[in-house]
């Protein structure tokens, strides 16, 4: 486990490409043998655009097959998995030119001639770059589907504490910089779950008024939270646990609890 961490900068989890490929190898051996390539979204898009597939370093780092120090696919990891490097995309720094979209494909997409495609990267490092995190000792806090903190480093950082708590080390979107991510996989997606399952009335109001349904919900919520406690494991956990079997919980419910109040106290943005 520690050897894998020192090469890839990541600790093992079913979310990473390596283990999904090993599942295919074990459970779909014919598909494993027949497949010429195994591609993620970025490199698959390149293939569809008529280009030799490539993958930004930070996205390659999330496969657990990439050496984050050498910036190349790890021969040791690929050998252990029985996978040839020829079946993977070219790793490139984020922003590096992948190629020019061929004229015929560009015409079908209503694009002009000479359109360059450049390598992208993993979502959080790209978002951190967009937020201006271009030097170390700074970090981005973001909430989208997941909730995540992404700091920046000048060099890869490996330590027992990071290893033990599943904090990775991999390339940032800015070449020469590194990142880690501290995250909960249950982030903004829990708001969508609440909207879809419990906010039918508010959705009707939003449709008739043309408002965003979340604005309708927020209007009923004053600022003070209640004693309700939500354990945010409606998906597998993120850092520091990497527990794919954990489940969520809402603790402190009473018959007096409503969508807007708990035990005669107002439910705010920190409550249910």
Angstrom distance (rounded) from CA 88 to CA 37: 6
Tell me the whole-structure pTM to 2 decimals.
0.85
Q: Which domains does the chain have, with CATH numbers?
A: 2-121 (3.30.420.40), 124-184 (no CATH), 189-266 (no CATH)
54-74 pLDDT tens trace: 999 999 999 999 999 999 999
Q: Please give the pLDDT value at position 261.
A: 65
**Inter-helix orientation angle 200-209/189-198, to 10°:** 90
Average pLDDT over residues 249-253: 93
**pLDDT higher than 90, residue 227:** no
**pLDDT higher than 90, residue 258:** no
120-163 pLDDT tens trace: 999 999 999 999 999 999 999 999 899 999 999 999 999 999 99
- Number of other residues whose CB lies within 10 A of the CB of residue 124: 24
Longest dimension (CA), the chain: 66
Angstrom distance (rounded) from CA 126 to CA 121: 6
84-129 pLDDT tens trace: 999 999 999 999 999 999 999 999 999 999 999 999 999 999 999 9
The answer to which of 21-30, 108-117, 263-272 has the lowest mean pLDDT is 263-272
């Amino acid at each position: 486990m520690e050897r894998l961490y020192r090469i890839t900068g990541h600790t093992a989890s079913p979310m990473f490409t390596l283990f999904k490929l090993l599942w295919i190898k074990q459970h779909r051996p014919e598909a494993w043998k027949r497949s010429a390539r195994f591609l993620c979204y970025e490199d698959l898009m390149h293939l569809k655009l008529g280009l030799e597939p490539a993958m930004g370093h930070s996205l390659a780092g999330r496969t657990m097959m990439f050496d984050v120090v050498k910036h190349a696919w790890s021969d040791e990891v690929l050998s252990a998995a029985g996978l040839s490097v020829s079946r993977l995309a070219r790793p490139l720094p984020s922003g590096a030119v992948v190629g020019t979209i061929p004229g015929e494909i560009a015409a079908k997409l209503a694009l002009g001639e000479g359109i360059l495609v450049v390598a992208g990267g993993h979502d959080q490092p790209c978002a951190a770059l967009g937020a201006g995190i271009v030097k170390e000792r700074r970090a981005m806090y973001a909430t989208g589907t997941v909730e995540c903190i992404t700091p920046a480093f000048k060099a890869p950082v490996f330590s027992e504490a990071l290893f033990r708590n599943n904090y990775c080390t991999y390339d940032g979107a800015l070449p020469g910089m590194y990142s880690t991510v501290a995250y909960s996989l249950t982030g903004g997606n829990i708001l969508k779950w609440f909207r879809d399952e419990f906010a039918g009335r508010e959705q009707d109001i939003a449709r008739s008024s043309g408002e965003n349904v979340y604005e309708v919900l927020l209007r009923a919520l004053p600022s003070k939270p209640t004693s309700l406690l939500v354990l945010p494991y409606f998906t597998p956990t993120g850092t520091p646990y990497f527990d794919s079997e954990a489940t969520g919980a809402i603790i402190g419910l009473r018959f007096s609890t409503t969508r807007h109040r708990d035990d005669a106290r107002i439910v705010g943005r920190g409550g249910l």
